[in-house]
Amino acid sequence: MLSAAVVSSSSSRIFSSSIGKTCSLYRSSIPSFFRLSVRSMADSAFKKIQIQRDDTTFDAYVVGKDDAPGIVVIQEWWGVDFEIKNHAIKISQLEPGFKALIPDLYRGKVGLDTAEAQHLMDGLDWPGAIKDIRASVNWLKSNGSKKVGVTGMCMGGALAIASSVLVPEVDAVVGFYGTPSSELADPAQAKAPVQAHFGELDNFVGFSDVTAAKNLEEKLKASGVAHEVHIYPGNGHAFLNRSPEGVSRRKSMGLSDEDEAAVELAWSRFNSWMKQYLA
């Protein structure tokens, strides 16, 4: 197993250096009401549980029908904040209904600006995060979900795709705008069906830009698993984030594209993929 330091450094370096340039003004521009609201939104919809793996325990947040197919929803680099909870709630409400579980990879910490988020992602134990994801998949399978998929956005998208290689219990994967480092996982060795989504204007080079998306597609072809890679014209990074707070945050980061049709298309493709492989 690669050391956590090696994997963390190689997996986060490309994204954090690129986004750091894009978001240098973000800390000063974030409104005070926004910093307060991120702590409380959507919390009431979730059941908080604890999951044991190896010699550690971590919190997770569950929403949806007990006996529904399960989907592990992996956080963006911000942590378990309002937006990833919004996504999990939406997933739980898609037909025919899913049971969504968010593992807290940062152990309760949330980045309220890009500097904090970058610090948290740079310090992530990536092999440990994969273990958290595997434990989350197995928890769902032990608690009413016969089949379980994994999805994630940004950092979570990279981890979701890595899970198709490293977590044998996963039945399907959908990743949004993120690819894993070669040190963490080689998608050419994927064992579960993978669907991936990217914005054409995403400028996080080597992590989620069009070149990274096309490289991922070539690796998935080599794996032999069922796969789809979709690129959305005119859309940038994190284009799914459509809550008022999420839109405000994206604009503060210089991401001003708004394409509701692309968002709905991406969710429709997500739902079709998960229904196909988790039903």
CA dist 100 and 90 (Å) reads 9
Assess whether pLDDT exceeds 80 at residue 151: yes
Contact 153, 176 (CB under 8 A): yes
pLDDT at 34: 38
Q: Give the global pTM.
A: 0.89
The pLDDT, as a whole number, for residue 43 is 79
Quick one: CA dihedral 251, 253, 257, 262, positive or negative?
A: negative
The predicted structure's pLDDT at residue 29: 35
pLDDT for 23-57, tens place per residue? 433 333 334 333 434 444 467 899 999 999 999 99
Task: Tell me the residue type at 173.
Answer: V
Give which of 92, 44, 52, 42 is closest to 72, Cα–Cα.
92
- Pairwise CA distance, residues 238 & 240, whole Å: 5
pLDDT of residue 10: 58
In this predicted model, what pLDDT tens digit does every residue of 184-226 receive, in sequence order?
999 999 999 999 999 999 999 999 999 999 999 999 999 999 9
The Cα 7–Cα 89 span in angstroms is 31
Grouping H, G, I as helix, E, B as strand and the rest as coil, residue 214 is helix
Q: Tell how strand 99-103 and strand 56-63 pair up.
A: antiparallel
Phi and psi at 230, nearest 5°, equal -115, 135
Q: How many Å apart are CA 85 and CA 89, to the nearest integer?
A: 6
Structure tokens at 259: 């394409």
Cβ atoms of 262 and 235 closer than 8 Å: yes
For residue 3, is pLDDT > 80?
A: no
Q: What token pair was written down for 2?
A: 């690669």
Return phi, psi of residue 97, to 5°: 110, 130
Mean pLDDT computed over 120-147:
98
Q: Which helix (H) or strand (E) holds 250?
A: helix 244-252
For residue 18 the two structure tokens come to 């690129």
Question: Average pLDDT in the 123-134 region?
Answer: 98
For 150, other C-beta atoms within 10 Å of its C-beta total 31
**What pLDDT does residue 252 have?**
87
Can you list the alpha helix ranges (DSSP code H) found in 43-105?
Answer: 82-93
- The per-residue pLDDT for 16 is 54
- Kindly report the average pLDDT of the chain as a whole number: 89
Mean pLDDT in residue range 153-167: 98
Identity (one letter) of the amino acid at 230? H
- Cβ contact 178:153 at 8 Å: yes
Mean pLDDT, rounded, for 74-96: 97
- The identity of residue 59, as a single letter, is D
- pLDDT surpasses 60 at 6: no
Select from 178, 176, 164, 183 the least CA-distant residue to 277: 164
Q: 3-state DSSP: the chain helix, strand, coil percent, rounded to 5?
A: 45, 20, 35
